[in-house]
Amino acid sequence: MARKMRKDEEYTVIEPRYSYSYDASQYVHPYTKPRYRLTSPTEVRDIAAAVTILTVAFYFILSAGGSRSIEYYVSLSALSVVAGFFIHEMSHKVVARGYGCWAEFRADYRMLGLALLMSFFGFLWAAPGAVIIMGNISPKQNGKISLAGPGSNLLVALACLPFKLFTIAGVPTIVSDIAASLYFFSVFLGAFNMIPFMPFDGAKIWHWNKPVYIATLLAAGLMLFIAFS
């Protein structure tokens, strides 16, 4: 059972030893208690920046060789990024907070710049930043926090799968287009984060529970195969 931290306890930085992160030191001081409980202006700014840059990057990939309007592809890209990236990161945060930790997303602007650059070559780079965690958690709890991100992506993709694979009577074409776009983005983001090396989620899941890692990786691989088939 997770132990809730007392208000007078000192926070310690877990990142990046276990959870998906780059370098927490540039974001938080290890001995400073957070001012905000749910979110902060910094988190809101970083989420907005990540959503904007990823939307532009995914737009270039979606629109390559397409014949629809700019507005059409921008809308598809924005919906996919918000539903895929935002749910992924907030899933990490919700589970971490459930274990009594402070958790907030911080963008990595170098990686976001790389994502934008790679999109010109038709490749989606899915490492926009990390949910930074402060608190006392075990490797098992940290594995579950890490699993929440890719797991949420696969659940979103699973919900989109029928609309991607089948033509359903009475369902507008735009719904199928949204489902296909969201499916691809979510599956790619989830599979990308299953890389079993730091600082990706897969490294912590592998450290915590190898059968869970293998099952999740196989599910992500199968869904990724469907995305490209």
pLDDT by residue (tens digit) across 112-140?
Answer: 888 889 888 888 787 888 898 888 888 89
Percentage of residues of the chain with pLDDT beyond 70: 80
Answer yes or no: is 3 within a domain.
no
Q: Within a domain: residue 19?
A: no
For residue 4, being part of any structural domain is answered with no
SS3 of 23-53: the string is CHHHCCCCCCCCCCCCCCHHHHHHHHHHHHH
Residue 160: predicted pLDDT: 87
**Structural domain of 119:** 24-228
pLDDT > 90: percent of the chain: 31
Phi then psi for residue 105, to 5 deg, are -80, 140
The number of domains in the chain is: 1
| Coil/strand/helix, residue 13 | strand
Q: What is the pTM of this model?
A: 0.78
C-alpha pair distances (Å), 199 with each of 64, 102, 209: 31, 19, 17
| 215 domain-assigned | yes
Q: Dump strand ranges (E) for the chain.
A: 102-107, 129-134
Taking the C-alpha atoms of residue 183 and residue 127, their distance in angstroms, rounded to an integer, is: 18
CA distances (Å), 23 to each of 95, 133, 147, 204, in order?
Answer: 21, 12, 20, 16
Q: Give per-residue pLDDT as tens, 185-220.
A: 899 889 989 988 888 899 999 999 999 999 999 999
Please check whether residue 122 lies inside any domain of the structure: yes
Residue 42 lies in a domain: yes
89 is known as an active-site residue:
yes
Catalytic residue, candidates 9, 43, 71, 89: 89
In a domain, residue 30? The reply is: yes
The rounded distance, in Å, linking the Cα atoms of 225 and 87 is 22
Looking at the domain assignment, is residue 16 inside a domain?
no
Look at residue 50 in the predicted model and tell me its pLDDT.
92
Confidence label for 169 from pLDDT (cuts 50, 70 and 90): low
Burial 174-209 (b: 16+ CB within 10 A, else e): eebbbbbbbbbbbbbbbbbbbeeebbbbbbbbbbbb
* 105 CB-near residues (< 8 Å, 6+ apart): 43, 46, 47, 50, 89, 90, 93, 129, 130, 131, 132
